[in-house]
Structure 1
Amino acid sequence: MASIDCVSLLTDYGLEDGFVAACHGVIARIAPSARVIDISHLVPPADVRRGAAILAQTVPYLPEGVHVAVVDPGVGTTRRAVAVAAGGRIFVGPDNGVLSWCVPDGGARAFELTNRDLWLAPTSATFHGRDIFAPVAAHLAAGLDITAVGTEFDAADLVTLPRPTRRVQEGTVDGEVLTVDRFGNVQLSVTAEDLRRIGAVTGVPLSFILGRRSITVPFRETFGAVPPGELVAFVDSAGCLALAVNAGNAAQRLGLPPGAHVRVGTALTSTH
């Protein structure tokens, strides 16, 4: 297998400690020619769903390579450590669903990381990012065939997170809060295509049912299309409907955590 130019890293390690640097160092020692791209190390601690969303929305813009995702509250337990080949890319991380939104339903190959010769020794029970995932990814980037990392198993047995819900019906879309970013922007599972199907047009307000509340929000192209402090709905860079407050925090104002149910319709259509 030819060497791979790119290794990406996504973790919840934060930036206050040396955890990220240690992973970089391990990769550099094994595969010094590989570029390392940091996707994010500020995933909320143990938030596997947020990690999965960031990974899935970022990987399409990265070079084909080895993509390491370590949001791993089960580190040191019986959860599997895996490498998955899918769509010309290799994903490395814990088998807890963090990789699942990047893996297609068919055509993937999955391997449990059982070849300890590729791990660092001694191996910490609590830092598999440094001692297992980073070295395995580096060996793969240096040209190791994925079949050498361990035991192959049926990719259908990988742990998966439930796909975000979205359903178009009677001129409305039922969805959920997919993620909340560091600016407090609320990304929904509703897509631009869903909006097209219900006849939503930029410039025409949208109605939202948020639990027992109903609000009407301007539908614009960007935050700055409304005055500071005002709510706005827009299609974000991932092609999802989002709610924001210009120069503010929509998640705090609306009290919308990830997973919250939302119903969307045009202001000209009842959403009840």
Structure 2
Amino acid sequence: MRYDWISITTDYGLSDGFVAACHGVLARQAPHARVIDVTHLVPPGEVSQGATVLAQTVPHLPESVHVAVVDPGVCTARRGIVVVAAGGLLVGPDNGLLPAAAEALGGIQRVIVLDDPEWHADTVSPTFHGRDVFAPVAARLAGGADPATAGSEADPSTLVRLPDPLVTVGTGWLEAEVTAVDRFGNVQLAAPGGTLDELGEDILVGGLRATRVRTFGDAGAGTLIAYVDSAERVAVAVNGGRAVVALGVAPGDTLRLAKRAATN
């Protein structure tokens, strides 16, 4: 199957030529394909954040070959893989980055280990598999090559998976892991949006008073708010401010939300 779109998600940043080099490989080897840059600002080496961004984004993209490279274990024993999903292909390291996105694309159908050097660049840098392995593979797949010919097939059960983020729900409270902080300082939690319904409108978030709202403008400037974000997850923000600063949290931390007791 030929793909007209390739997406790229990395932690490469924008101050070096790493992203441009990957674009160049794709442009030379798959000139027909249009490239969507999901983000290149995943914090360096933060696989879980890259996995979150990728899984929440790919369902909204056209059917594509999705390249994702957040790869602190580059050129170690970790495998390079193609994951064949119902709604597209994912190419990247086998370090937990890809499975959630594959599930978001309809589920994992096959896994191919990229162990055929004919699919790679002539010279492969031990520190830049994004350019020399994953981009060349993505380009060939976009051109219609059969993923099965990229290497040896692996049992999907052998994929490295990240641990499920913590979500605990009680009567009038919930505790959930921080999964992401966006550029506005809004804090996304692992808890599904519906868990917020049990807490009412007057909530304590990390011990601070917050208001349940539908959108930012429903609260006054500087107000701490809890809401359901565009990924259908519980999130916390400050209208006109940065909730991450107010709460002092980071991805991986656990945050408690509780119904605020009525006072006389």
Specify the TM-score bucket, using the shorter chain as the normaliser. over 0.9
| 1-structure distance, mates of 2:239, 2:171 | 31
Among 247, 256, 264, the alignment partner of 2:257 is: 264
Provide the secondary structure at the position in 2 that maps to 1:264: strand
Cα deviations by residue, 1:131-153 (Å, 9 ceiling, x for unpaired): 00001001000000110110111
In 2, Cα distance between the equivalents of 1:226 and 1:168? 26
- 1:52-95 deviation per Cα after TM superposition (whole angstroms, max 9, x unaligned): 00001101101111111100111121111111011221110011
1:230 aligns with 2:188: no
1:68 equivalent in alignment to 2:67: yes
Corresponding residue number in structure 2 for 1:240:
233
Contact 1:84 1:109 in 2 (8 A): yes
Displacement after TM superposition at 1:260 (Å): 1.4
Deviation at 1:9, TM superposition (A): 0.1
| 1:192-242 Cα distance to aligned partner (Å, 9 max, x none) | 22223x2x45xx22223x3xxx22201112222223222111111111111
Q: Give the structure 2 partner of residue 94 of structure 1.
A: 93
- Partners in 2 of 1:18 and 1:261 — Cα distance? 36
Equivalenced residue count is 260
**TM value normalised by structure 1:** 0.91
In structure 2, C-alpha distance between the alignment counterparts of 1:106 and 1:64, rounded to whole Å = 14
- The structure-2 alpha-carbon separation of the partners of 1:97 and 1:222, relative to structure 1 and needing over 3 Å to count, comes to same
Deviation for aligned residue 1:268: 4.5
Please give the residue correspondences for 1:1-272 in structure 2 after superposition, counting only pairs within 5 Å.
2-104=1-103, 107-196=108-197, 198=198, 200-201=199-200, 204-208=201-205, 210=206, 214-268=207-261
| Cα distance in 2, alignment partners of residues 218 and 98 from structure 1 | 34
What is the alpha-carbon distance in structure 2 between the residues aligned to residue 5 and residue 267 of structure 1? Answer: 51
Partners of 2:181 and 2:250 within 8 A in 1: yes
Percent of aligned positions that are identical: 50
Give the C-alpha shift of residue 107 in structure 1.
4.4
Structure 1 Cα separation of the partners of residues 135 and 256 of structure 2 = 41
Amino acid at match of 1:160: R
Q: Distance in 1 between matches of 2:162 and 2:82?
A: 17
For residues 242 and 157 of structure 2, the distance between their equivalents in structure 1, rounded to whole angstroms, comes to 39
Q: Distance in 1 between matches of 2:30 and 2:132?
A: 15
Letter in structure 1 aligned against 2:157:
A
Q: Distance in 2 between matches of 1:237 and 1:23?
A: 30
What displacement does 1:263 show?
A: 2.5
Paired with 1:107 and 1:138, the residues of 2 have a C-alpha distance of 21
* Structure 1: runs of 5+ lacking an equivalent: none
**Aligned AA for 2:36?**
I
The answer (yes or no) to whether the contact 2:9–2:38 under 8 Å persists in 1 is: yes
**1:101 and 1:161 in contact (8 A); partners too:** no
Distance in 2 (alpha carbons) for counterparts of 1:229 and 1:108: 47
Q: Over residues 157-199 of structure 1, what are the superposed CA-to-partner deviations in whole Å (9 max), with x where a residue is unaligned? A: 1111112222323232221111111111110112122223x2x
